[in-house]
Structure 1
């Protein structure tokens, strides 16, 4: 076979591999996408948290895991699509937004994130839970992309989603009242809401419930917490990488590629090179990817297994939430 034959055959082989790949992942991916679309439709028209709907609907379709045709696509959605969603969050953040918050606000956000992770890890050790569950509850869903996989990984992630979504919904209603009781002004309230509520949707809802200015500040503070995923994920990756056997360690990158994409998007977005419509679209795509990933995680986990986690992880989540609210309030009032 001469060079011309090779050049002619190679595209056909590449096309065939792509076709086989798509045929393999299509069933599970389409199911996850359908659940995500149904969840978004219900949330948009009847209210409620989209991620929670996606999770519950996905869990009701757990039987699809037993279908060999759907499993590869579900795995793809729960891992690759999740990482894409986290990477695309960078399109919602600019360095100017972060700098405009001021040094005190940035320090509060940094201290709050670091302290919550430490409390999660310590709580896990005291309550006899795995260290990765403590880190996961302290960082929420995005960190799950780099945590080591084991038989309880999906269950832990789903437990965190349920807890975070439920507690964020309660916080969306109660925290504006709490901020008023403590006499916080609109700027302090925005910092408090963005620095304590876990889910972006509930942060936006609580902030704009008070005023546009409070909503803007709350959203930027929350996005600053999202930006802090960069150092957190790097540290967590290195820690768990060091604990792996040498042959497994080579499979774990020093810095995950999706995290590099996140940083690149933040830098590009900060230069105003991209039109607002494109960055807005990327932000919406990020949200869509996260919904699809949560739907897939729901499919992978059975309700029976979720009920076996016991009361300790619930205590961890509630305790971390109360600690975070108290810490940020203390920083704002002093």
Structure 2
């Protein structure tokens, strides 16, 4: 293919994707405005606003761009999440919190698979919900979703999981500090509990610093360790489900995971300037919100209603399991 024909192909692709990507970005901007001025999780706003524009994904010029935003832009966002983690921050926690977090993530995912089977739900759905609960909420749901088999209800299940973990994370931010106060633990132990159980980073920060600065710092570091677990979990799942993926991409490490790992290493070495890190984190955030707005556009309210009570019971059970598991470890250590 000549350079000229490649250029024309690129222009055609941009024209094809631009309307849908622009629509997704506009929804993301609106969601960000609502979150900053009225409070509330920006991811949830993006989902709900996107669902209001479901018709755009059914006909017209936006279909291709919405699909591109919900998949390709999502992978860019997840890859750039590596800039939020350094190995030094993880090592500051010491061995006990590291072992606790790793064990909690693995056991919660196994619990989700088993509970999904008991409830008559699919194994991928159990992995999706449990992974989101165990690791980092909406971001983990989107990353794990990208390597799971693309069944008939794949996108509906992903949106349900994002809504579920976001809602439960907000509840946990309010309730968990009250519960953990009953055990009269020190600030570091409380931080490990909050960072090891609450789903989303923002809610962990809010809950931790509402107790004390020390609790907030420990909770944030513990949460970043859970975020770091995203890489090995998604890599493992990409190989477990490789038979369901089409073509060469299903037989090798996804590119966005390579970017994730590279950014962790580079950030740990101090090679990336702070100004560049700030830009990367901002781009990742906007890509995530844009991708989730696109996912919302591809999800109908009727489809969400079809998920059923068993799915809600599953994600609540996974959340309770994780909380009890980490609480037992933290109290036992004391």
The bucket for the TM-score relative to the shorter chain is over 0.9
Separation in 1 of the partners of 2:184 and 2:302? Answer: 45
Answering whether residue 114 of structure 2 is matched by residue 113 of structure 1, we say no
Query: Corresponding residue for 1:57?
Result: 49
Correspondence for 2:6: 14
Question: Secondary structure of the residue that 1:252 maps to in structure 2?
Answer: helix
Question: Superposed, which structure 2 residues align to 1:128-207 within 5 Å?
Answer: 128-140=120-132, 141=141, 142-207=143-208
> Alpha-carbon deviation of 1:238?
1.2
**TM-aligned CA deviation for residue 250 of structure 1:** 3.9
Aligned length: 323
CA RMSD of aligned residues (A): 1.4
Helix, strand or coil at the partner of 2:251: coil
Q: Report if the CA contact (8 A) 1:92-1:280 is conserved.
A: no
Provide, for residues 131-174 of structure 1, a one-character-per-residue CA deviation record: whole Å limited to 9, x for no partner.
Answer: 11000001121211111112100100011011100000000101
What is the aligned partner in structure 1 of residue 229 from structure 2?
228
**Which SS does the other structure have where 2:203 is aligned?**
helix
The correspondence for 2:30, drawn from 38, 48, 53, is: 38
Shift of 1:177: 1.0
Q: Which residue of 2 aligns with 1:273?
A: 271
- Which of 282, 285, 303 matches 1:287? 285
The CA distance in 2 between the partners of 1:73 and 1:241, in whole Å, is 26
Unaligned runs of 5+ in 1: 1-5
Q: Secondary structure at the match of 2:266?
A: helix
Q: Is the 8 A contact 1:234 1:254 kept in 2?
A: no
Distance in structure 1 (CA, Å) of the matches to 2:13 and 2:251? 24
Distance 2:279 2:193 in 1: 28
1:317 has 2:309 as partner: no
4+ runs deviating over 4 angstroms? none
Using a 3 Å threshold, how does the CA distance of structure 1 residues 103 and 156 change in structure 2: closer, same or farther? same
Q: Alpha carbons of 1:318 and 1:107: their partners in 2 closer, same or farther (altered >3 Å)?
A: same
1:178-210 C-alpha deviation (Å, 9 max, x unpaired): 121111221111111111111111111111222
**Alignment-derived partner of residue 3 in structure 1:** none
Q: For 1:215 and 1:37, locate their aligned partners in 2 and report how far apart those are by CA, in whole Å.
A: 29
TM-score between the two structures when normalised by the length of structure 1: 0.94
Choose the corresponding residue for 1:332, options 326, 330, 333.
330
Q: How far, CA to CA, are the matches of 1:180 and 1:280 in structure 2?
A: 35
Structure 2 runs not aligned, ≥5 long = 133-140
**1:106-127 CA distance string (max 9 Å, x none):** 0010011001101111111111
Cα distance in 2 for residues equivalent to 1:23 and 1:223 = 38
Cα deviation for residue 316 of structure 1 reads 0.4
SS in 2 for 1:149: coil
In the superposition, the TM-score normalised over structure 2's length comes to 0.94
Q: CA deviation at 1:312?
A: 0.4
Kindly name which structure, 1 or 2, has the bigger radius of gyration based on alpha carbons.
1
Counterparts in 2 of 1:206-285, with a 5 A limit? 206-242=207-243, 244=244, 248=246, 250-285=248-283
